[in-house]
Structure 1
Amino acid sequence: MSDDPQLAHCTARIGTVLRGKWRIDSLIGVGGMAAVYEATHRIGRRCAIKILHPEIAVSKELRARFEQEALAVNQLGHPAAVNVVDIDTSEDGSPFLVMELLDGESLGKRAHRSGGIEERELLRVASTVLEVLDVAHGLGIVHRDIKPDNLFLTSSGGVKVLDFGIARMRQGGSNVRTRIGAMLGTLPYMSPEQIAGGEIDGRADIFAVGATMFRILAKRRVHEGSTESELLIKMATQPAPALRTVAPSVSPEVCAIVDRALAFDLSRRYPTARAMREDIERVLGASAAPHAPTPASFRADVSSAISVDGPTMAAPAPGQAMQAPMVVSVPPQSVATSPQAGSNSPFLMIAVIGSFVVAVLLAAVLFVVRSRGSAEDTRESADDETSQEDEASGSSRTMATSSGTSTPSSTAGPAPTSPTAAPLPARRPAPNGKYRLLMKDGKYPFCVTSKLKYAYPVRTNAEGVKVCSGTPDGPIPIDGLKAYHPSELQWE
């Protein structure tokens, strides 16, 4: 018997019959919100049934979001979206969806099992996903949780997009209310605007497709962090690294596509799923107008190991994988047969020397920038020590607190406070120097601890005061807190 009560409860359903017609045959997997089973209808039809956990089913909002999956897929009507054929409630009151039973595995599991995803195969998968998203976005549906484990590769060679349960819908989903500032999705694949809890559109899904491709090709996440808070801050404030810098074996054309999909600035990201798909089809050989820069030549080699994120719902978490090699033909020009080979040698030597000089200059610039950053860190540490001494000597004033229940607000905050500004206001937060405001686009979406170990959302309490919500010290008024700017972030 399993030591996990939830798993034991889910396993106990095997052999039972739902609503007198669906016999539960086996447990496929268990996720945070639901369990997925293989079942057989009394007329012999096999299917997959997703049953919401009882403790989740007590929430009206989560029940509505679960049922919304059927509504979203029904509106979509795309063959590459998993088909939902029925929705009902079990005898114990748990909602369930009846879906087509898929034969195959998730993209993440494939990357683990087969030693990687060949570059062109990944492009074909992404093209199908973007086709589904193009239709969804046209209907006002944003998926919000595209990731390797929600992309299913069927044994017949098809692709299915799973889990529209947290999709944002323009129509038909009015019974689902997402609180301002709430984050729905899987953190390593969420766009900066999605993390900040602001308004999102289809470009959030485009970012997630880019993050999924980045993960498979680079064998790492877009950003890495030792804690969830550190990862959250990086995803919300730092642009993705250029794919070419972490995966030099990936073809430059594919790197250009992924880099544009992951653009931090919305205006530089692909405007639509269709535009990104056209670039992918162009690389695969279709004739479509390019939307991303086109390098002259490219290649792809074997890369290092990768671990892919586990699922939100049901699929088992995949482990590490290797990318299979891909060779792209580029017309060679032999030195022996080229009539200009001899005359180009001096120019080649000049180019090599010039590249070396540029590298030296860049290293010097980097050294100067780091030196200045170290000096800023030293001054910041001195400020913190002075603040702590002030508190020890009794100079800090009592923190103003509110007993009202905090409610969500927009990410907008007060004007940034300069580290070298005049003395702090009379109402000084305590403990002094422990919390800072993380600045993004002139706003403060998060409060962070001085070592950036923990992040807390900025909310407005019942009295209209902006506070760091959820801190161990209670609601901390953000007035007077120093600001962190993304360019000054230093990690332990």
Structure 2
Amino acid sequence: MSDDPQLAHCTARIGTVLRGKWRIDSLIGVGGMAAVYEATHRIGRRCAIKILHPEIAVSRELRARFEQEALAVNQLGHPAAVNVIDIDTSEDGSPFLVMELLDGESLGKRAHGSGGVEERELLRVVSTVLDVLDVAHGLGIVHRDIKPDNLFLTSSGGVKVLDFGIARMKQGGSNVRTRIGAMLGTIPYMSPEQVAGGQIDGRADIFAVGATMFRVLTKRHVHEGSTESDLLIKMATQPAPALRSVAPSVSPEVCAIVDRALAFDPSRRYPTARAMREDIERALGANAAPHAPAPASIRADVSSAISVDAPTMAAPAPGQAMQAPMVVSVPPQSAATSPRAGSDSPFLLIAVIGSFAVAVFLAVVFLVVRSRGSVEDTRESADDETSQEDKASGSSRTMATSSSASTPSSTAGPSATAKPPSARRPVPDGKYRLLMKDGKYPFCVTSKLKKAYPVRTNDEGVKVCSGTPEGPIPIDDLKAYHPSELQWE
């Protein structure tokens, strides 16, 4: 352990006093940006202190993101969001946050323990998390890093949502970015649009909640990859497998909830955290209106290897029969009606038959609407594939230009701002291509998808493949690579 200089530096703080009032008692944990300690105030109050690493503190942007955690939590004011008491800077110039000291363990640690986490316990935890997110989203705050290790289970039975340090906020922190792009978070729990560095909203957090439930219930991630590049490509291009196909023992109601939260297309996910929470409460037995599809429509298959638009849940095929719940309402017996009169009355029989007829009519209408929706989805998918084939038949220059024009964030294409040929790096012949779908999710990939590099805009406004061994490569010199192709020769 002494061979790790960062750990040694963090451990050396134990016993010191910050700003003459906070005594560092012990090291709780060390992360990529900061270390967390248990500390005691000079008046005896115990707390947790998160101190930014010195090498991180030199960046004004990273300091701003660290400090915006206090701003985000202060705006929330939710009892299930960890309370930030103070913010200051240590004597060596490292910013630190003073937070409430929690007693318990993370959801990740509980899930991987011998007892694990039962389905109903997970639902109760997620219900609280969604309540916090509902408030956060209403304030324009997107957490962006929901995962089991950021959900804390207190010894008193409560739940705390941790680490709002990379939250995106409409006010007070909206200009916080990294120099290499906006892909912040933990890849196995990030939505496809977040992995691609695109515009996100609260539905990215909903995807992360679904990925967290998937992880706890199945003991595996939504997608697994041998390398970070492999995992990144899968998260950006492949729909999540149906939960029932991975964990058939999970109840149909929970499978429906998780599958909808993990929908590849954001428009197919829950529109709000509140809507998802209502289905969670319904699964726990509360009387909330359902938002998830009926359990009978849960998809039992797994999507194809590479597909960027396939929905997480498959709708019933046109004409496919689907059982609808049938409710027969029987009028309660009034005090003025005797048992004998009720059993002989023809009005009771008429009421039963009428209720039955209404239920059948509603079931038929439901099936017709679903069938029409399935037809429209099939037609839309076919149009999308046709468009994809048309684009694949064009030249590499045409594809690079059209994909740039279809991307909202790049109104002026690379060719419009490219540097003179003499100032641009040569493109390795046939080594890289652009993986994209109608201009979305741009990545530079090598043959057989062995490596993936993000597309960034350099200081001259030219879109380039960032991080390749050859350096920045302008994307307008690359051929297009479609998800329908598994590899190229």
Q: Indicate whether the TM-score tops 0.5.
A: yes
Between 457-466 and 403-412, report the one with greater CA deviation: 403-412
Distance of aligned partners of 1:334 and 1:399 in 2 relative to their CA distance in 1, 3 Å threshold: same
Residues 300 and 126 from structure 1, CA distance in 2 versus in 1: closer, same or farther, beyond 3 angstroms?
farther
Taking a change above 3 Å as real, the CA distance of residues 130 and 478 of structure 1, as seen in their structure-2 partners, is same
Q: Is the 8 A contact 2:108 2:148 kept in 1?
A: yes
Asked if the contact 2:151–2:159 (Cα under 8 Å) also holds between the matched residues in 1, the reply is yes
How far did 1:39 drift?
0.5
Greater mean alpha carbon deviation, residues 168-177 or residues 329-338: 329-338
SS of residue paired to 1:437: strand
**8 A contact 1:117–1:324 mirrored in 2:** no
Other structure's SS at 2:459 match: coil
CA drift of 1:445 comes to 1.2
On the 8 A contact 2:333/2:342 being kept in 1, the answer is no
How far 1:466 sits from its partner (Å)?
3.0
The answer to whether the 8 Å contact 2:237/2:306 transfers is: no
1:305 deviation in Å?
24
**Distance between the aligned counterparts of 2:310 and 2:96, measured in 1?**
22
Structure 1 residues 292 and 393, CA, compared in 2 at 3 Å: closer, same or farther? closer
Distance 1:321 1:105, change over 3 A: farther
Q: Which residue is 2:420 aligned to? A: 423
Give, in whole Å, the separation in 2 of the partners of 1:152 and 1:250. Answer: 23
1:219-276 Cα distance to aligned partner (Å, 9 max, x none): 1111111110111011111111111111111111101100100111111010000000
**1:250-269 mapped onto 2 (5 Å cutoff):** 250-269=250-269
Distance in 1 of aligned mates of 2:324 and 2:154: 20
2:180 alignment partner in structure 1? 180
Shift of 1:321: 39
Whole-Å separation in 1 of the counterparts to 2:126 and 2:108: 13
Residue of structure 2 equivalent to 1:65: 65
1:334-380 Cα shifts (integer Å, max 9, x gaps):
99999999999999999999999999999999999999999999999
Q: Alpha-carbon deviation of 1:485?
A: 1.8
Contact preservation (8 Å) 1:51, 1:95: yes
Matched with 1:346 is 346
The 1-side partners of 2:295 and 2:381 are apart by: 45
CA positional deviation for 1:476: 2.0
User: Are residues 290 and 426 of structure 1, via their aligned partners in 2, closer, same or farther at CA, if it must alter by over 3 Å?
Assistant: same
Which residue of 2 is the match for residue 307 of structure 1?
307
Q: CA RMSD in A?
A: 11.7
Q: Count residues with an aligned counterpart.
A: 489
Match of 1:156 in 2: 156
What is the CA deviation profile of residues 43-81 of structure 1, one whole-angstrom value per residue up to 9, with x for unaligned ones? 111100000001110000111111111110010000000
* Contact 1:69–1:167 under 8 Å retained in 2: yes
Post-superposition CA distance 1:4-60 (Å, at most 9, x none): 011011001101111111111000010010000001111111100000001110000
Gaps of 5+ in 1: none
Gaps of 5+ in 2: none
Structure 1 distance, partners of 2:316, 2:14, is: 19
Q: Distance in 2 between matches of 1:384 and 1:355?
A: 43
Q: C-alpha displacement at 1:386, in angstroms?
A: 27
Distance change in 2, residues 1:481/1:46 (3 Å): same
Compute the displacement of 1:441 (Å): 3.5
CA contact (8 A) 2:145 2:166 kept: yes
Query: What whole-Å deviation, never above 9, does each CA across 1:274-319 have from its counterpart, x for those lacking one?
Result: 0000000000011011001232699999999999999999999999
Relative to structure 1, the CA distance from residue 365 to residue 70 in structure 2 (aligned partners, 3 Å threshold; closer, same or farther) is closer
Alignment TM-score, normalising by the size of structure 1: 0.74
After TM superposition, give the deviation of residue 489 of structure 1 in Å. 3.5
Deviations 1:193-237 (A, max 9, x none): 111111111000000000000111121111111110111011111
Q: Output the CA distance in 1 between the equivalents of 2:103 and 2:440.
A: 47
C-alpha deviation, 1:425, in angstroms? 17
Provide the C-alpha distance between the structure 2 equivalents of 1:317 and 1:375, rounded to a whole number of angstroms: 8
Farther-moved stretch of structure 1 (110-119 vs 338-347): 338-347
Query: Could you tell me how far 1:382 is from its partner in structure 2?
Result: 28
CA contact (8 A) 1:107 1:148 kept: yes
Contact preservation (8 Å) 2:245, 2:300: no
Call closer, same or farther: CA 1:316–1:26 in 2, change over 3 Å.
Answer: farther
Contact 1:249-1:300 within 8 A present in 2 as well: no
**Is the contact made by 1:66 and 1:166 (CA closer than 8 Å) also made in structure 2?**
yes
Q: 1:29·1:315 contact (CA, 8 Å) conserved in 2? A: no
Structure 1 position 408, deviation (Å): 14
- Classify 1:248/1:361 alpha carbon distance in 2 versus 1 (closer, same or farther; 3 Å): farther
Residue identity over aligned pairs, in percent, reads: 91
Which segment drifts farther, 466-475 or 205-214?
466-475
* In 1: Cα distance, 2:446 partner to 2:469 partner: 11
Q: Whose RCO is larger (CA < 8 A, sep 6+)?
A: 1
After superposition, the Cα gap between the structure-2 partners of 1:158 and 1:328, relative to the gap in structure 1 and judged at 3 Å, is: farther
- TM-score norm. by structure 2 comes to 0.74
Alignment of 1:433-452 (within 5 A): 433-443=430-440, 445-452=442-449
Deviation of the 1:456 alpha carbon:
1.3
CA distance in 2 between counterparts of 1:37 and 1:353 reads 69
Contact 2:140 2:169 in 1 (8 A): yes
**Displacement of 1:120 after TM fit?**
0.5
